[in-house]
Structure 1
Amino acid sequence: MKLSLYQRLSISLLALFAVIALGFYLWSDTLKTQLRFEAQQRLHLSLAANLARDNPLLQQGEYDFKALQNLFHTLMVLGPAFEFYFVAPDGAILAHSADESRIHRQSIDIRPINLLTQNQAALPIFGDDPRHTNRKKIFSAAPVFNGVTLQGYLYVIVAGERYETILDRTNTSKEMQVYLAFSGIALIMLLVLMLGLFRFFTHPIRRLADEMKRFRSSGFEQNQMQLYPWPQHDHNEVNQLGNLFNQMVAKINRQFDQLNHNEKNRRELLTHISHDLRTPLANMQGYLETLSLNHALSEAQKQEFLQIALTNAKQLNCLIEQLFELAHLEAGQVSVNLEHFNLTELLYDVSDKFKLSASNKNILINVRPEFGHFMVHSDIGKIERVITNLLDNALRHTPANGEIELSIIEVDEYTLQVAIRDNGTGIRKEELSYIFDARYRASNASEDCKKHNGLGLTICKRLLEILNNDINVTSELGQGTRFFFNLRRN
């Protein structure tokens, strides 16, 4: 049978209380017995001395042990709680009040007698019980002298065997009844109290467990259930755990939504990319088949068809390379190598790569400021890739005799801004929020090998996100576009 936390706590506490109650009973019984022994011994401390002083049989030098034994027997009849012994200075028992068959020792240890008669130890002091081989009893004792000669000791067991037997029977019966009654009442009161307390303390845990089960039953869909509003900023650990559970549920559902959104985007992207892959591939295949089947083409037509097929092949290669790059970035398998470098030099290096294509369209590329020592701390390879993509994008959308400017702006003492501005076709305002989407192709997209659903801008955004930066854009249709992002200064 499986027990709940509430049941296990209740049973454990009851068992613990029973053990503590038993231990307390044993300790209190031992303490009570010790106190009783001390009180009895203190009460009868002078008993043996008075008997030895007042009894003529004990004052004579030579003893009639038979007469002593009769005397002890008479005294024991008068006081059944006592047992009387006369022992030699070495501890040998010379006379006693008990039946000979009940005596199991012929001598006793004399050291406890010396401790008692000389007040050398705290009470109670226990001496040997002649009626038992190893039992100890409280006693009263007094030395017996003949003149100055020690004749022996009067040794009186205060709580004799008959007294102990009767007392044990009476006490055992009554104490057991009291103990059982006390324990029963205490256990019932404790049970009622603990059941209430445990129900109070475990109720939030049961509520949290029920919420977890309902969350699992709902297919881990938060909108299928109403979460309990756990108290905020509470020091109660269960309430803190409940708040963490609610946060976890919210995050799991956000991740589910993001996964569904990403899956939807992936399917749409595959649809668009498939179309873009199919178009140049079909064109290239058509021209190559024409060249293969039509042998009547002139040399000029053949060169034209081959050139068109080559252009489509380059377009296809561009698209495939960028798809691989984007997939690599999305997989999170990119390392970041931070270093210090001169940003001005990097802008000149990137602009030099596009000088030929820019001069063919009579486009001027300027770096502002022309001279400067702007040191930044970032990944130079990724920043170069971003600037290259943005400059390539600007060249494709800038008409002949246009101008492109690469500029560095000091935002503050810790930040520099890199901007790529052109005076080309520009982008519609309603399209600005979509241009970094891999699926989106702006209405101003050019018809060259970069016809790839805006993958270049998507790659730029992803690279800057890896560097914990963001890219922004401003544009006016027919006036040009400006892309910019910030870098941390050295």
Structure 2
Amino acid sequence: MTNSLKLKFWLALVLLVVAATSSILWATTIYMGQKYFAQQQESLFRAGEKLSEYVVAERDLGKIYHQMEIMGSYLNANISLVDPQGRILICSGREGIPRSSCQMWAADMIPQELVKNLLAGKKVAVRVESKLLKQDVLFTGVPVVFQGRVLFAILLQAPVREISGNFFELIKINILSTIIGVILATILAFWLSISITKPLIQIKTAAQKIANKDFSHRISYQGKDELGDIAQTINQMAAQLEKYIDAYQKREQNRREFLANVSHELRTPLTIIQGYTEALLDGMADDAKISEEYLKNILIEAERLKTMANELLDLASIEEGREKLKLENIDLAEFAEECINTFKNQFSEKGINLELEIRVREGKVIGDRNKLFRVIENLLSNALKYTPSGGKVKLAVLEREKDFQIITSDTGPGIPEKDLGKIFERFYKVDKARSSKGFGLGLAITKSIVEAHGGKIYAQNNPEGGANFMVILPKLPPSGDNGLPNGQ
């Protein structure tokens, strides 16, 4: 198919060039032929007129004959001088025609009616067939007029073959040039066919790759023409499809992991509940105190299941946008102090120093106060959980040109490098020891809340030890626009 396309395109270009060149050559040949014969005829007329002037000025036939010989040799033509009675007085000789045969030669070539027109004072030009020379002859005649009387007539005859000889040489040169031009055009057409079909072939290959679900293939052609636009569009389409497919596959992977994680998280509390319930039903807890203990354990596990269900519902509603944010202007400095006051007792009980750093001028953001409080709560609870007694946790609020940073840092063990990129995923737990009391949903919920506010969240390890969590929230719009919906 590729070769067929190249061949068809190449043949089409070659045929177009040959047809155009042949038409131009044919039209040029006809035009140049007519122009050339007209020029030759005009040359014979001018020569005849000059010779006519010479005859009037010079009455010596010998000198006239000599001049006719010179001019005839120059023009490659036969020249005759005819008197008013139509008799040839002098004729210049031609190769193969002796002067003694002038009368026979003239009778063979010169139509008598044209001689009469000449003697009547008219110039004549005609193409006649010579039986003697067995070829066509261009015949021209000029009258010799003196004081209004026709004294003689100058007759000039040039064989068409010899006139055409130079013209045909020119035609040969034109034909040779045309052949060379066609050859060069053929080579150029072949190059053009390759250059034009190459992007088409690349486009076809890319389409086949996309049809075969290979979205990584890209077209290398980057021309500034329509084909380049098509190639760029297909590349963009492939990139978008690749992006969508990757996102779809990631969602499917997350869905499978989610189901697996939910099943895993449900299995432990359900197993515990089942075990205690069966024990109670089998009468294994005869003592009231033991029965009460079993029931308390069942209640604890039921509460855990309820907590997990609520967290899953919260996460889903935030991610899907079903839970509307109750937006208001929030002063970050005051908000951070409220959070510190809420959690300082918990940190004091564990012997952890909780610090607050505020470096803002007018730190206001638009947000849902309760949701942002949950963000700080999750981050501080996470720091409290993994920071040992005697350690330090700091909450910092920093202002930048276009946004604010809320940073929690601790002096705990930090986060393994391999887990840094995954800790915000649902149900992700670094290890059993660090996550024995949770479901791995807290940071996922935190990330969803931050993104719902148009912000971002990052995690990194401190070089000195411990972990940093950085929340970035955009500033309020300028010019007093609080960015809130009407009525807020």
- Using the size of structure 1 for normalisation, the TM-score is 0.51
Q: Does the residue aligned with 2:320 lie in a helix, a strand or coil?
A: helix
Instruction: Judge conservation of contact 1:291–1:305 (CA < 8 Å) in 2.
Output: no
The answer as to 2:463 corresponding to 1:471 is no
Question: Does residue 1:484 correspond to 2:470, yes or no?
Answer: yes
1:271 maps to a residue whose letter is A
Tell whether 2:361 aligns with 1:373. yes
- Tell me the equivalent position of 1:37: 38
In structure 2, distance between residues paired with 1:182 and 1:401: 98
Q: Deviations over 1:131-159 (max 9, x none)?
A: xxxxxxx99999999989xxxxxxx9x99
From 379, 382, 400, the equivalent of 1:393 is 382
Aligned residues: 402
Tell me which residue corresponds to 1:11: 11
Local SS of the residue matching 2:16: helix
Give 1:364 shift.
9.0
Aligned pair in 2 of structure 1 residues 246, 334: CA closer, same or farther (>3 Å)?
Answer: farther
Bigger mean CA offset, 250-259 vs 382-391:
250-259
- Match for residue 303 of structure 2 among 308, 311, 325: 311
- For residues 282 and 85 of structure 1, the distance between their equivalents in structure 2, rounded to whole angstroms, comes to 138
Taking the aligned partners of 1:248 and 1:84, their CA distance within structure 2 comes to 87
Residue 456 of structure 1: how far off its partner (Å) = 2.0
Q: Cα–Cα, structure 1 residues 399 and 25, in superposed 2: closer, same or farther, change >3 Å?
A: closer
Show the counterpart of 2:442: 456
Output one character per residue of 1:194-214: Cα deviation in whole Å (capped at 9) or x when no partner. Answer: 587569858976996897699
**Could you say which residue in structure 2 is the equivalent of 1:328?**
320
**Residues of 1 paired with 2:279 and 2:258: CA distance?**
32
- Determine if contact 1:76/1:97 at 8 Å carries over to the other structure: no
Deviation at 1:419, TM superposition (A): 1.8
Question: Is the 8 Å Cα contact of residues 348 and 367 (structure 1) preserved in structure 2?
Answer: no
Three-state SS of the structure 1 residue aligned to 2:426 is: coil
Q: Counterparts of 1:344-383 in structure 2 under 5 Å?
A: 344-348=333-337, 354=342, 368-369=356-357, 372-375=360-363
Corresponding residue for 1:133?
Answer: none
Corresponding residue number in structure 2 for 1:273: 262
Using the TM superposition, give the Cα deviation of residue 371 of structure 1 relative to its aligned residue in structure 2, in angstroms. Answer: 8.2
SS of the residue 1:471 aligns to = strand
- Provide Cα deviations, 1:259-313, integer angstroms capped at 9, x if missing partner: 767655542332112222455567678889999999x999x96995895476245
Superposed displacement of residue 32, structure 1 = 4.0
Q: Determine the C-alpha separation between the residues in 2 that align with 1:459 and 1:190.
A: 70
AA aligned opposite 2:406: V
C-alpha spacing 1:171/1:297, structure 2 compared with 1 (3 Å)? farther
Contact 2:354 2:394 in 1 (8 A): yes
Q: Does 1:436 align with 2:424?
A: yes
Question: Distance in 1 between the 2:47 and 2:183 partners?
Answer: 49
Which secondary structure does the structure 2 equivalent of 1:44 belong to?
A: helix
**Residue type at the aligned position of 1:343:** L
Answer yes or no: is the 8 Å Cα contact 2:407–2:468 preserved in 1. Answer: yes
Secondary structure, counterpart of 1:440 in structure 2: coil
C-alpha offsets along residues 38-57 of structure 1, whole Å, 9 cap, x if unaligned? 34135315869969x99769
Residues 141 and 338 of structure 1, relative CA distance in 2, 3 Å threshold = farther
Q: 1:145-186: per-residue Cα shift (whole Å, max 9, x none)?
A: 9989xxxxxxx9x99xxx99x999999999999987876676
Partner AA of 2:310 in structure 1: C
Secondary structure at the counterpart of residue 407 of structure 1: strand
Alignment of 1:22 onto 2:22? yes
Cα distance in structure 2, aligned partners of 1:25 and 1:473 = 80
Cα distance, 1:79–1:317 mapped onto 2, change above 3 Å: same
Q: Distance in 2 between matches of 1:282 and 1:84?
A: 136
Q: Is the contact made by 1:426 and 1:480 (CA closer than 8 Å) also made in structure 2?
A: yes
Residues 168, 482 of structure 1: CA spacing in aligned structure 2 closer, same or farther, 3 A cutoff?
same
Cα deviations by residue, 1:364-397 (Å, 9 ceiling, x for unpaired): 9966236853537787788666434323434566
CA distance in structure 1 between the aligned counterparts of 2:301 and 2:324, rounded to whole angstroms: 37
In 2, distance between residues paired with 1:409 and 1:140? Answer: 112
Q: CA deviation at 1:18?
A: 0.8
Which range moved further: 431-440 or 250-259?
250-259
The TM-score normalised by the length of structure 2 is 0.51
**Conserved 8 A contact 1:76-1:83:** no
1:463 CA drift (Å):
6.1
Q: Distance in 2 between matches of 1:336 and 1:86?
A: 115
Q: Where do 5+ consecutive residues of structure 1 fail to align?
A: 59-73, 88-93, 99-137, 149-155
1:190-339 to 2 correspondences below 5 Å? 191=186, 193=187, 197=191, 220=214, 263-264=252-253, 266-280=255-269, 308=300, 311-312=303-304, 314-325=306-317, 328=320
- Taking structure 1 as reference, are residues 372 and 335 closer, same or farther at Cα in structure 2, changes over 3 Å only? same
Summarize the Cα distance change of 1:320–1:213 in structure 2 as closer, same or farther, 3 Å threshold.
Answer: closer
8 Å CA contact retained: 2:396, 2:407: yes
Name the CA distance, whole Å, in 2 between partners of 1:145 and 1:335.
Answer: 120
Distance 2:117 2:324 in 1: 102
Partners of 1:288 and 1:357 lie apart in 2 by: 38
The CA distance in 1 between the partners of 2:367 and 2:163, in whole Å, is 92
> 1:195 and 1:34, CA in 2 relative to 1: closer, same or farther beyond 3 A?
closer
The percent identity for this pair of structures is 20
Q: Alignment partner of 2:28: what SS?
A: helix
Counterpart residue identity of residue 35, structure 2:
Q
1:407 aligns with 2:396: yes
- C-alpha deviation, 1:436, in angstroms: 3.3
| Equivalences for residues 63-102 of structure 1 within 5 A | 78-79=109-110
C-alpha RMSD of matched pairs (Å) = 7.3
- Is this contact kept in 2: 1:338–1:379, CA < 8 A? yes
Structure 2 counterpart of 1:408, one-letter code = V
How far apart are 1:406 and its partner, in Å? 2.0
Q: Say whether the 8 Å CA contact 1:428–1:476 is kept in structure 2.
A: no
8 Å Cα contact 2:455-2:474 kept in structure 1: no
Equivalents in 2 of 1:179, 1:349: separation in Å?
A: 98
Displacement of 1:471 after TM fit? 1.1
Deviations 1:205-262 (A, max 9, x none): 699689769968997498xxxx99x99x999x999x9999999999998997887676
